[in-house]
Amino acid sequence: MVVEGGVDVEELGRATWTFLHTLAATHSAAPSPAEVKRIERFMRDFSEIYPCAPCAESFRGIMKRVPVDASTGPKFAQWMCKVHNEVNKEIGKPLFNCEEVSKSWGVCESCARHEDSLIGFKGLLKRMRQAGRKDSTANKERSSN
Ligand SMILES: Cc1cc2nc3c(=O)[nH]c(=O)nc-3n(C[C@H](O)[C@H](O)[C@H](O)COP(=O)(O)OP(=O)(O)OC[C@H]3O[C@@H](n4cnc5c(N)ncnc54)[C@H](O)[C@@H]3O)c2cc1C
C-alpha cells in the first residue's frame, strides 16, 4: 500500500525483493572475479543504505551469519532465497521452498525489449548529432565564403 508521502515497509519490501531476486536470476552462470566482487560490494552497500533503518540493521546481521555467495548465478539465487527466508523467519512469514526459486523468479523479458528500443533511440540520437555536425560545418563554410 502506498501511504501519503511515500511507501510503507511492506510495499518497499515487496518491490525490493522483486529487484533482488531478478538481479540474482540475471547474474552470470560463470561470473568473472570482478563481477563477483561487484555483487559483494553492492549487497554490502545495499545493507547500509536500505531505506528502512531497522530492516537494514537486521539484514546486516543476517549477512554476517550468511555471507554473500555470488560465485555462480544459481548459487546467488539460492543465497538470495536463503536470506529472504531469514527475514521471513524474523517477521513470522512462511518460509519459501528455495528449490522452486527459479520457477518464481527469472530474467526480465520486457527489459530486453526495452534495451532494443534504447539501442534504436541511441542510434537516432547519434544520427541527429552527426546531422547537426554536418549542418554546423556547412554553416561555417558558408560564413567563411
Ligand atoms: C532486505 C530486506 C529486509 C527487510 N526487513 C524487514 C524487517 O526487518 N521487518 C519487516 O517488517 N519487514 C522487513 N522487510 C519487508 C518484508 O521482507 C516483506 O517484503 C514485507 O513484509 C511484504 O511481505 P510479502 O508477504 O508481501 O512478501 P515478500 O516477503 O515481500 O516477498 C515477495 C514475494 O516473494 C516470494 N518469496 C517469499 N519468500 C521468498 C524467498 N525466500 N525466496 C524467494 N522468493 C520468496 C513470494 O512469492 C512473495 O510473495 C524487509 C525487506 C527487505 C528487502
pLDDT at residue 35, as a whole number: 97
pLDDT at residue 93, as a whole number: 98
Ligand 1 center to 28 CA (angstroms): 24
pLDDT digits (tens, 9 = 90+) for 5-39: 889 999 999 999 999 999 999 999 999 999 999 99
Q: For all residues of the chain together, what is the average pLDDT?
A: 91
42 within ligand 1 shell (Cβ under 6 A): no
Q: Ligand 1 pocket test: which of 11, 16, 17 has the largest number of ligand atoms within 8 Å of its C-beta?
A: 17
Ligand 1 center to 55 CA (angstroms): 11
* Residue 138 pLDDT greater than 70, yes or no: no
pLDDT digits (tens, 9 = 90+) for 74-94: 999 999 999 999 999 999 999
pLDDT at residue 1, as a whole number: 54
Q: Pull the grid cell for residue 86.
A: 531469514
Ligand 1 center to 37 CA (angstroms): 25
Residue with cell 560465485: 71
Helices (H) and strands (E) in the chain, counts: 6, 2
- Relative orientation angle of helices 53-65 and 73-90, to the nearest 10 degrees: 120
Distance CA 70, CA 24 (A): 8
124 within ligand 1 shell (Cβ under 6 A): no
Q: Percent of the chain beyond pLDDT 70?
A: 91
